[in-house]
Amino acid sequence: MAHIKIGEVDKDNSVDKVEQILQGAMQEFLKQGYAGTSMDRVAVAAGVSKATVYSHFQDKEGLFKALVEQLARKKLHLIFGTEPLEGEPLIVLRQSATNALEQMTKDEEHCAFMRVLIGESGRFPELTQICVRAMIKPLLETLSQYLAAHPELNITDPEATARILLGTLVHFHITQDVMHGKDIIPMESDRLIDALIHLIFNSAESHQ
């Protein structure tokens, strides 16, 4: 018969509680926005006591930061996988761009969360800085490092090129999904990705 240590049970319960609190927090941030969300509301939504919330998170900003960091880790793994980015550039870049758009456009919760972030950015700039630091910066660094590791692409500025790649995808997501513009400026995501990849590789070929 397997024996489970008390400490392991406590750790598992703690992890479950954190997940429960983060899920409750997401519900409240999406419904009430950052300013309208309180730790009391989060506790009710999570089905835990207020003391339990405070035992894991010092304040609302810390809770929001933890939520953004959790989302960032999830998105990074879904876009790039858990292994270092390797492989033939044409395949890797196309797959990464496709994964990124799928993760942004097909996740309604992500779209709603982006609206909250953008809406609150004027009053709470530190919130959007958390997102840039936890999500955007690692994406840019991963792309920059991959591009720099492939000199055959003849990319003179991998960091700027990574920003162009990611910026195009984020702009597409914001205008089509976050701002509900897909009926106003419709375009298939495959068409955008094809054009983006063509620009990069056509530029590489012209410098050879």
pLDDT tens digits along 71-81 = 888 888 888 88
pLDDT tens digits along 114-173 = 889 888 889 989 988 998 999 899 999 999 999 999 998 889 999 999 999 999 999 999
Residue 117: predicted pLDDT: 87
Q: How far apart are CA 152 and CA 167, in angstroms?
A: 23
Report the pLDDT averaged over residues 187-200: 93
Residue 190: predicted pLDDT: 94
Q: Determine contact, residues 50/40, Cβ cutoff 8 Å.
A: yes
Residue 2: predicted pLDDT: 46
- Candidates 70, 139, 150, 147; CA nearest to 109 is 70
Q: Determine contact, residues 21/42, Cβ cutoff 8 Å.
A: yes
Average pLDDT of the chain is 87
Both tokens of 173, joined, read 């997501």
Query: Residue 1: which residues within 8 A CB-CB, separation 6 or more?
Result: none
Per-residue pLDDT for 1 more than 50?
no
Q: Say what the pTM is.
A: 0.81
Both tokens of 191, joined, read 């068409």
pLDDT band at 111 (very low <50, low <70, confident <90, very high): confident
